Amino acid sequence: MRTNHEIDFRIYGEEMQCVEVELDPQETVIAEAGSFMYMDQGVQMETIFGDGSNSGGGGFFNKLMGAGKRLLTGESLFMTAFTHTGAGKARVAFASPYPGKIIPMDLQRLGGKIICQKDSFLCAAKGVSVGIELQRKLGTGLFGGEGFIMQKVEGDGLAFCHAGGHIIERELQPGEVLRIDTGCVVAYTSQVDFDIQFVGGIKNTLFGGEGFFFAQLRGPGKVWLQTLPISRLASRIVSYGTGARKEEGSILGGLGNLLDGDGYR
């Protein structure tokens, strides 16, 4: 038996996805502020402190503490709850904030807890707790790409995370080690040991272009990886907009910028 609300869902799209959640009467889904797309008549929206799970107990102070923890992960103090107050079925949808994939996670089948990067949580069934996870190892916190604080999602309901590009799922066996770029880690189950490893070698460190450290994930457990971290996409956009453009294949070179309207003013 689940203690969280049971919801049905359908994911639409390929590169810019949205998830449509189907609610029975009095069922509720919680979502990050700004992710809402549309809802049927009969669905009521309410802004709440924290995630509404009451995992820290009742009372305004406990709710404020739970909401305050979300600030440490870079999220808002508030979340939005969507409750079906009518009869029959009703639907509400949430959209991904940038190109990528939405990952449905059944927490009941994943040990009741996942740890994810700070901005990946999208929405979940009411009762799911969204909090913070402190990195216990100093090196991991300093150089692991996500700092000391990550998000933890706990409960036995459905939760949805979003990540950039394509998503790869890996099931790690006990003792199996996977080394990846620190920015490509989306989420992992609580049994996975997350650490960092120095790249090693003077040439690799100075000229490899992959940073000084790998993320090292050790099984058992499940991990989700993304092919396009938003930080990588943002840095490419910034460098393209502020640096000199490469005119590969153009016999006009910089003159082409003037002709296509992108010349410097």
**What average pLDDT does range 165-173 have in this prediction?**
95
- Tell me: pLDDT of 19 over 70: yes
- Tell me: pLDDT of 183 over 60: yes
- Tell me: pLDDT of 246 over 70: no
- Tell me: pLDDT of 221 over 80: yes
| Domains of the chain, CATH where assigned | 8-244 (3.60.160.10)
Task: Kindly report the pTM of this predicted structure.
Answer: 0.78
Instruction: Give whichever of 28-42, 126-140, 208-222, 242-256 has the largest mean pLDDT.
Output: 28-42
Question: pLDDT, tens digit, for every residue of 135-155?
Answer: 655 444 444 445 457 889 999
Rounded percentage of the chain residues whose pLDDT exceeds 70: 69
- Tell me: pLDDT of 114 over 60: yes
**String of DSSP letters for 84-151:** E-SSS-EEEEEE-SSSEEEEEEEGGGTTTEEEE-TT-EEEEETT-EEEEEE-SSHHHHHHSSS-SEEE
Beta strands in the chain (DSSP E): 8-12, 18-23, 28-32, 36-39, 43-49, 78-84, 90-95, 100-106, 113-116, 121-125, 129-134, 149-154, 158-164, 167-172, 177-181, 185-189, 193-198, 213-218, 221-226
> What was the pLDDT predicted at 264?
42
